[in-house]
Amino acid sequence: MKINITLVFGLIAIFFNSCAVMTSMGLNNKASWEKPVSNGISPEEALWKKVQSLNTEEAYVDYLSKFPYGKYKYDARLQLQLVDTEAAWEKAKTVNSEEAYMVFMRDYAGSKYNSQAFANLTKIRQEDSWNRTKMFNTAEAYDDFISRFPLSEYIQQAKSSYASAQSEAEWNRIKDFNYVKVFENYVKSFPNSVYKDQATAKIQGLNSNAPSLNLMASKAPVSPSEISRVQKNMSRQMEPQKVEKPEKKDVGADKWFQANALNTIEAYQDFLKEYPKHKFSPLAKKELALFDEQTWMRAKSTNTNEAYENYQKLFPTGRYFKDAKKKILDQEVATILAGDYNALPAMNKSESLLGSKLNEITIKNITGFTLTIIYSGPVSEKIEVKDGSMYVVKLPNGQYNITATLTSDLIGSFVGKENLTGGKYETKFFLGY
């Protein structure tokens, strides 16, 4: 339930005119409807005391129905808003479901409980997603969870399970190979794998299975040329070996193989941060670009602010960062449009600029509160203007939905539409009753 306070632009004369109309109708004249009783307390005073003691929604509604223009009308509306919000929040907490919190945030967009409602909603979604992820128990499922909920309380468990699932999948792929290097890379990439001992045993077994030099002991007949070759090899082994300088170890390459084995956004980002010009950097960028595309497609299919915000956290310089920002702002506007709101008067166009594709809007705020305005259209922008301040925003031509909210739980949202056609606009925000 929103308080019917109108946010107006321009001249305060509207307010005085409305007061004049009310006076002419006798609505502002207490003598026309308030009659004192014998003990000196008016009916309104008596009822207001009773309403205060009851402090219920029904009591405040009853007062406003009997004294719509009474001297406590604003107090009644404020208290009614508080009582209504408290009751709705208690109901949402009792139900404690995704739908309950979504309905609360839609109907009470300016409530002080909104951040807690969003936190509870996120927790429920995380719990459901985590339970599904554990049920699937695959590397893909854990990877998806990590991408969607990077700040979850289950993130470390998810990363550990992801690494375990990935190491198992890799082991099943290579376990029948007969190449030492494959198993050495596996041990490097998955040092904590449960298959590490088996991989080490494979390395030792493959090294010990080198052809024996004692071919004379072989039961199979050996040709004279083969005997000569073996003897030459033996004589070479007896010669003193040249001491060669050890090759410089490529730490960056090791880091790349580890990142590639983990195959996560975080791993590739860490590699590029540490080795931005390494020979494997282009491959890391290619893998990240693929993750960027996949994460954005998932965000679009989910189509929630949480998904778009998660994309922005994962890819602060991503290809679709600006698109994600626009989606978030457009959804904020859609949420306000789905609830209760008051009409926002049209802006004042102070100057037309023929042929211009850009508009310059000067915003002045003298409401006594911090003002937040969202323009949702060809581009979407969110502007915060402190009380007593001025802000200039530039927007391209086109049709825009505009929302305005104040930092007060007791004043609702305001919505308007503008077709910007190239020019300079001025808009002043102040409160009138």
The predicted pLDDT at position 228 comes to 60
Distance CA 164, CA 174 (A): 15
User: Cα Rg for the chain, rounded, in angstroms?
Assistant: 36
Cα 328 to chain centroid, rounded: 8
Tokens of 182: 């494959």
Taking a C-beta distance cutoff of 8 angstroms, is the pair 152, 158 a contact? yes
Distance CA 4, CA 383 (A): 24
- Under 8 Å CB-to-CB from 175, ≥6 apart: which residues? 195, 198, 202
List beta partners, residue 404: 373, 414
Q: Where in the chain is the domain with CATH 2.60.40.10?
A: 340-432
Handedness of CA 340, 346, 348, 349 (dihedral sign): positive
What letter represents residue 189's amino acid? Answer: S
List beta partners, residue 373: 383, 404
The predicted pLDDT at position 362 comes to 93
Regarding beta strands 341-343 and 371-376, do their DSSP bridges make them parallel or antiparallel, or are they unpaired? Answer: unpaired
Taking a C-beta distance cutoff of 8 angstroms, is the pair 415, 344 a contact? yes
Distance CA 110, CA 88 (A): 13
User: Tens-of-pLDDT digits for all 433 residues of the chain?
Assistant: 444 444 444 433 333 333 333 333 333 334 333 445 546 788 888 888 888 888 877 888 888 888 888 888 878 777 766 777 778 888 888 988 888 888 887 777 667 787 888 888 888 888 888 888 888 888 888 888 887 778 788 888 888 888 888 888 888 888 888 878 888 888 888 888 888 888 888 888 888 875 543 433 444 454 556 556 545 554 554 455 455 555 567 888 888 888 877 788 898 999 999 999 998 899 889 888 888 888 888 888 888 888 899 999 999 999 999 999 999 999 999 888 888 888 887 888 888 888 888 999 999 998 889 999 999 999 999 999 998 899 999 999 999 999 999 988 778 888 989 999 989 998 888 775 4
The predicted pLDDT at position 221 comes to 53
The predicted pLDDT at position 138 comes to 83
Within 10 angstroms of residue 135's Cβ, the number of other Cβ atoms is 9
Three state DSSP letters for the chain: CCCCCEEECCCCHHHHHHHHHHHHCCCCCHHHCCCCCCCCCCHHHHHHHHHHHHCCHHHHHHHHHHCCCCCCHHHHHHHHHHHHHHHHHHHHHHHCCHHHHHHHHHHCCCCCCHHHHHHHHHHHHHHHHHHHHHHHCCHHHHHHHHHHCCCCCCHHHHHHHHHHHHHHHHHHHHCCCCCHHHHHHHHHHCCCCCCHHHHHHHHHHHHHCCCCCCHHHCCCCCCHHHHHHHHHHHHHHHCCCCCCCCCCCCHHHHHHHHHHHHCCHHHHHHHHHHCCCCCCHHHHHHHHHHHHHHHHHHHHHHCCHHHHHHHHHHCCCCCCHHHHHHHHHHHHHHHHHHCCEEECCCCEEEEECCCCCEEEEEEEECCCCCEEEEEECCCEEEEEECCCCEEEEEEECEEEEEEEEECCCCCCEEEEEEEECCEEEEEEEEEEC
Distance CA 399, CA 139 (A): 45
Range 340-432: architecture per CATH: Sandwich (2.60)
Distance CA 402, CA 392 (A): 15
The predicted pLDDT at position 28 comes to 38
